[in-house]
Every structure is written in C-alpha cells, then in structure tokens.
Structure 1
C-alpha cells in the first residue's frame, strides 16, 4: 500500500490460469475506487516509463496557475500489451500535476484509469521494481527459481536486467531508460554464453590497448577483424 497525498494505492501480485499479474487499485479521499490490471511484462515496461516521466517532471519549472497548458498535457506515451493498451499522460490543472494512466478493455467498453500525483511517481516505480524483483517479470508461472533482477546507473541512463521464463524458455530482458528515451532487447538463454564471450573479447582488447605501430596482424582474417 502506498499513501500519496490524499490517495491510497494498493498493488497486489495475483495469479490465474494465464499466469501472474499485478492489480493496481486507487482509493480516493471519498472512497472511490479505480483499478488497472498489468501483466508482469507490462508492469516492467510501466516501471521503465515511470522513470522516464519522473526524470522529465524534475526538469519542469514550478507550476504556474495562470499559465496552464491548453489541454493540460505535458508529456504522453503508451504501452501495447497483448489485448490491452495503456495510455500515459502527464497533465497539469489548477490542483497540480499528475500522471493519468488509462487502460482499454480487451473487448471494448469504458476505459479504467488511475491518477498518480506527480510527486509520487518515483515511489510508485520503486514499489513496482520491488514486486518485479520478488515475483519475476514474466506472465507465466516459472518452473525453476530465476535470478533476481539487477539494475545499474551509468551517467544519465538506467539499465535493468530482468530474467523471465515463458513457453519458449528462459530469457534476459535488458532495458535502457533515460529522459525521453526507452528501449529494450530480449536475449534467449541459449545465446547468453556467446554474448558473454563477445563481451569478454572486447574487454580483453580494451585492456590490451591499441596495437603497436610496428605490429602486423598475423593473417588476413585478423586484418578483416580489425577493419
């Protein structure tokens, strides 16, 4: 449970026959409830977007009630996850700034949505990260215990390493997140050893330093590799 200003948010990891998912319930000051359903992979993508929105929010000037954007929108993005779509809009009105997250229904019908006060986006993202670390980022029930998620910051970038499992096997999802930019790649387990070897080769080359000017490559294959 998160208390952000006058709102309470409940984040529950649940499981059904299709796998694990996260239910987010918002309870307003008057007791009104709204909820979103996120698959574990969608929750990981939402976490990455929250970091992006938080970084953008921190660059903004203080709100000016006399100069509110015409449509209220400061930044927008979206997530496509299976049969659901999620629309993220950082907005501003006379009461302040907030992130509105809307979810479309699989077979039509009204959208469900929550509104997170902008000051609480970072805390919300941290809570999602903890749930993903504890329960995995894949939607399917895993048959073995998977390594925990890792993250690291390099200058103005964040990198997330999440291990998941589905009916095609185990994979690594690497997400790069920085202001106004997010991308991710998925690497199947069978390629991890080769990836490790390639990175190791580059590390060895860097540690060795540039070749001496008088050194000549041993054969044409080495010449092509250096070119």
Structure 2
C-alpha cells in the first residue's frame, strides 16, 4: 500500500461504517478502500471545536485496538504512559490529559501531508473509562471486518501485522512496527522521489553551461526547500 494516505477522495469505497457517542461527542469510524489500499478514517464532531479527522493505514488498526485496550484497562487507577506509534510515513501520538470535565485521551496524527498534525480528543467516559472501552470495542469490530475483507478473519491479537502486543503495555513509549524504510520511486515526469520517514525529496537531474547537476527539493507540509549539487563536486549514482 502506498504510504501517502493523507486524505480521501470521492471514489473511495466504504467497507464498514460505525458511529460512536462518547459523552457529548460523536465519532465516525469508516473503513475505506481505494487503489492504494485500505485505511480507517476517524472523525470527531463536538460542540466546541471544528470537526477533526485522522487517517490510519490498515496496518495500524490492530495497534490502535491494543493501545485503546491498554488505556481502557487502567480503570484500577494504574499510571498510564503516553505512547508514540510510527506507522508507514506517519506518527500517531497518544497523550492522556485531564480537565475539569474529567480525563481524556488525545490521539494526534503527524504525517507528510499538507494538513500537518490533526488530533482527536476522546473523553474517558467517567471513572470506569467506559468511553475508551467503547472506542476499543468499536475498533475491534472494524478490525474483525477488515480481516474478513482480507480473507484473514482472526482476533486482533493474531492479526498478521501485529507482531508484539506485549510491547504496548509498560513504560516503553514508542510502540508498533516502526516507520517504513526509505523508498525511491519514479514520478510521471521522470523525477525520482525519495521517501524517508515523514519527508519527501524530489531529485531532478539537469544541466546548464556550468555542467550537470541534480536539484534536490524537500517538501514538508507547506514549506519547500531546494538544493542543487553539481556533478564535479559529488558523484551522483542513479
């Protein structure tokens, strides 16, 4: 699956849709599919903030299930650790907070897309953390449905992309399979695109009266930076 799932389009096929109310907020969880693969779109609609959406690659769904299980299981008063989940070219941050209305879990997505960081704020649901538990159960149903679409119906703990569920609990901050390795792909215009973590670099060879060069352009959020490397200063291997 392409790691640039930073948005959706009208042509995407909806496979599963769930709506969940937690206290005064509504959450929409939609499992969708397009030519690049499957993904989970989670949107929050509340009274006091604009609608917010995060996009989770399908490989991250079992990790979301286990992370919500970790947070929902803390109703006995145990301490919770904020977590980071690198998935493909994104990083998801799970941060526990508290305000006069009670505990909440902020789930933020930081990716390579133009939206930058987007976040959901999920109330705990009270002393029993029923809001987080309901979120976990909804994610579990979606994971089971995703397995059926893939022909791999199985519990979340046995999902093929879920390698070490025990690593979610405890003091370890960073969990999950980690980011995708660097990848070099060709664009339609002949440019080479190097994806490294959350960054994209465009490599364009050229020539002028001084000789050959390669222009390296970094695209990150709304900023664009460029660098030209001449061939007589550094050997370029394609």
Global fold match (TM > 0.5): yes
DSSP 3-state at the match of 1:126 = helix
The answer for the alignment partner of 1:150 in structure 2 is 155
Cα 1:174–1:86 shift into 2, 3 Å: closer
Structure 2: which 5+ runs fail to align?
1-18, 126-130, 178-238
Structure 1, residues 208-227: CA drift from partner, whole Å, max 9, x if none? xxxxxxxxxxxxxxxxxxxx
The answer for the alignment partner of 1:161 in structure 2 is 158
Give the Å deviation of 1:74: 5.7
DSSP 3-state at the match of 1:180 = coil
DSSP 3-state at the match of 2:77 = coil
Structure 1: which 5+ runs fail to align?
62-72, 152-159, 165-171, 186-227
The answer for the alignment partner of 1:122 in structure 2 is 133
Cα 1:112–1:94 shift into 2, 3 Å: same
Determine if contact 2:67/2:168 at 8 Å carries over to the other structure: no
Q: Distance in 1 between matches of 2:91 and 2:20?
A: 24
Q: Which of 143, 146, 161 lines up with 1:135 in the alignment?
A: 146
Q: Distance in 2 between matches of 1:31 and 1:8?
A: 12
Q: Distance in 1 between matches of 2:76 and 2:26?
A: 26
Q: Distance in 2 between matches of 1:176 and 1:108?
A: 34
Query: 5 Å matches for 1:19-38?
Result: 19-30=37-48, 32-38=50-56
Determine if contact 1:84/1:105 at 8 Å carries over to the other structure: yes
Cα 1:17–1:181 shift into 2, 3 Å: farther
Determine if contact 1:161/1:175 at 8 Å carries over to the other structure: no
Alignment TM-score, normalising by the size of structure 2: 0.56
Query: 5 Å matches for 1:43-192?
Result: 43-56=61-74, 58-60=75-77, 75-107=81-113, 109-119=115-125, 120-136=131-147, 142=150, 145-146=151-152, 148-150=153-155, 160-163=157-160, 173=163, 175-176=165-166, 179-180=169-170
Q: Going by fraction, where is helix more abundant, 1 or 2?
A: 1
Give the Å deviation of 1:60: 2.1
Runs of 4+ in 1 over 6 A off after TM superposition: 181-185
Aligned residues: 152
Structure 1, residues 132-157: CA drift from partner, whole Å, max 9, x if none? 111129xxx84xx22x1226xxxxxx
Q: Distance in 2 between matches of 1:100 and 1:179?
A: 18
Give the Å deviation of 1:53: 1.2
DSSP 3-state at the match of 1:75 = coil
Alignment TM-score, normalising by the size of structure 1: 0.58
